Structure 1
Amino acid sequence: MAGFGDPHTQPVDAAGLRLGIVGSRWHNDLVDHMVERAKAAAEACGVTDVVVARVAGSVELPVVAQAMAKRFDAVVALGVVIKGETQHFEYVCDAVTSGLTRVALDEQTPVAHGVLTVQSLGQARDRAGLEDSIEDKGWQSTVAVLDAALAIREIEKS
């Protein structure tokens, strides 16, 4: 974590928007909590139409995010990837990041990258929005993606 530049994300008025949340099942205890925090953020922003889907791992997130991006105003992808002893970490992180970015651009729908890519379980816990966490990526990712969806709506009005 950089430790600086945090915009201290506050809820936005996103009433009427539809939100898709897709989370991986790897590190289920952390992702479950992140999904709950994403749902809480959506509620705080006035979003009542929220659909949650779960997939096996983070590599599967982009394809489900794409299906959601066709139906929803915004999508949040949540997962945890912890570096191990092989190159697999780099491949997964690159595939997820490239995939989610491609979905957002191809579908012209904001897609939040709420996938924790960390060196240790402790770093993941610090970012998962637990009671003793220093960050809350489920909440932050959701508010950010709803804010982006609102910005697109404003642009489309002009």
Structure 2
Amino acid sequence: MSGAGAPKTAAVDCHDLRVAIVAASWHEQVMDGLLAGAQRACGDHRVEAPVVTRVPGTFELPVVASALAQQGYDAIVALGVVIRGGTPHFDYVCGAATDGLTRVALDHTVAVGFGVLTCDDEAQALDRAGLPGSQEDKGYEAAAAALATAQTIKRIKRRFD
């Protein structure tokens, strides 16, 4: 199971953070689960109204995350799913999304939660989507990681201001 070894962390108060969630549209059932998990994490961390933006697919996540970072969001949660097929398309989309989201985080010094599932089949994606019967809730985990990272960045900036 890929979730083995995940840290146990408590929700922290993030009511003062501007948070955006950008979610792909492909694989609707999986994406609905990921989005619900991310929104639940925001609620647990006292983020009352994260901005939710939908994009066509996982490939489009980085450019929209970059636009959101330019608008001053403290944390951006990127959610998507790519399921392996019979062509190299899987590798190109996964690499582009990973590299692009990393670039957004580094170029803008913004917390980016990486909630992109890269799965061999739909069953693996459903098992990680945070749906009833799923073993993992990667949408929740991505949002919680982004929020914790945003708080750390905020503390660092305050220390040196």
- TM-score bracket, shorter-length normalisation: over 0.9
2: CA distance between counterparts of 1:15 and 1:75? 15
2:110 equivalent to 1:114: no
Matched position secondary structure for 2:126: helix
Which consecutive residues of structure 1, in runs of 5 or more, have no partner in the other structure?
none
1: CA distance between counterparts of 2:105 and 2:89? 24
Q: Aligned residue for 2:64?
A: 64
2:125 equivalent to 1:98: no
Residues 12-53 of structure 1: CA distance to partner in whole angstroms, max 9, x if unpaired?
211111110011110012112211211111011011231000
Deviation at residue 111 of structure 1 after TM alignment: 0.8
Residues 106-135 of structure 1: CA distance to partner in whole angstroms, max 9, x if unpaired?
011011110100101010011000111111
CA contact (8 A) 1:76 1:112 kept: yes
CA root-mean-square deviation = 1.1
Deviation at residue 2 of structure 1 after TM alignment: 3.5
Deviation at residue 9 of structure 1 after TM alignment: 4.0
Query: Aligned residues, how many?
Result: 158
Residues 68-122 of structure 1: CA distance to partner in whole angstroms, max 9, x if unpaired?
1122110001011000011110000000000000001001101111010010101
Alignment of 1:21-32 (within 5 A): 21-32=21-32
Which consecutive residues of structure 2, in runs of 5 or more, have no partner in the other structure?
none
TM-score under structure 2 length normalisation? 0.94
TM-score under structure 1 length normalisation? 0.96
Question: Counterpart of 1:35 in structure 2: which amino acid?
Answer: L
Return structure 1 stretches of 4+ with deviation > 4 angstroms.
Answer: none
Residues 134-158 of structure 1: CA distance to partner in whole angstroms, max 9, x if unpaired?
1101111001100000001111121
Structure 1 stretch 5-14 or stretch 42-51: which is displaced more? 5-14
Aligned-residue identity in percent: 49
2: CA distance between counterparts of 1:47 and 1:93? 29
Alignment of 1:6-85 (within 5 A): 6-71=6-71, 72-85=73-86
Q: Aligned residue for 1:150?
A: 151
Structure 1 stretch 118-127 or stretch 6-15: which is displaced more? 6-15
